[in-house]
Structure 1
Amino acid sequence: MVTLSLVALLVSFVFMQYKPDSPSERMKKATVSLEALSARGHTMAILHQKPFWLRFERNQVILQGAELTTVDTSGPSDELGASYDEEEADANEIQSLIVDYDSYTFPDGMEVFVRRWGAAQQAWFHQEKPEDPVIFWNFEQSGLCEPISLRLEIGESWTELEMDPLTARVADEFSEIYD
């Protein structure tokens, strides 16, 4: 009976120490997923010689690309004043060429903030409401991308990721996590 009690106590102690849904675990998973998406978009832009980008929304990030082989945009438009219907049709045609390749949905309670290169230290963009504008991080066919910083927050915990403009991977990481 004593042995069984000790085993039960040991198991409960180990179980209490392991928190599968702790902020640090959620931050690590989100960091790995963001880095994987950005590296994939960067590589795809170089290999396919087409534009790719990450679209940051309130609760998710989407890897998107454009299928440019079906539209000829090289010639000038023969109309100077297109009607609203024609402009809307053109916008819908362009929108239909955008392809979602992959996405990552942030865990409940996590928010993502984006700071563009050259912005003030505390100038973080965050989509407050679904109708607010989203931010795009473009990957050029040349292999370059804009250096940006990402900030993931869960309550008081945060992680800042500085992304490398040559590799689109995490160059530096700072965090303060309270489990």
Structure 2
Amino acid sequence: MTKQELRQYYLDRRRVCSENQIAEASAKINQLLINHLNDTTKHVHVFIPLPNSKEINIWSFIEYCWQQDIQTATSLTFFKPKRLEHSWFDSTTTFKPGVYGTVVPSPIKPVDLSVLDIVVVPLLCVDDSGNRIGYGQGFYDGFLAQLPTETKKIGVSLFEPIHETIKKDPWDIPLDAVISPVGLTDFTD
């Protein structure tokens, strides 16, 4: 299948998941994310799940990070020009509505990307080599390309990695690992 066909197929698969299935998968993925943290993890970048999108709800992981004094950052989406900016946030942060249902931390506290230990990446599907398919806008491609090589890029997915190879474009940055409800798949081995 082409990237667009895979994107549509996994969007359709996600749409038919019940709220209970999403909640159960989210709970498993949150626990696996927590288990992946170590004593040297100090700065984590996360996505804020879009409402009504059936994205994985990672708020339990975010709250755990706060309890462990791990700083959390998230993205702000801009369409003109197309880019992501990043801000730190914590339990005291308020959020304002952004574009397309996103939320924006207020106030914005800029992030030095070089300090990030882990980036949690939303996606629709990923292959056995860590090549992912997101929503097709290229926001995360540009962001991941800016990260130091030692920053771990961990995708979260409702579905296990697919065995079909996803065509890799020159700008695509593969993930280091993906976490699905069945476990963690490490692509760096």
> Which has more radius of gyration?
1
The structure showing larger relative contact order (alpha-carbon pairs under 8 Å, at least 6 residues apart) is 1
Q: Please indicate the TM-score interval, normalised by the length of the shorter structure.
A: under 0.3
Higher helix share: 1
After TM superposition, the score normalised by the length of structure 1 is 0.22
After TM superposition, the score normalised by the length of structure 2 is 0.21
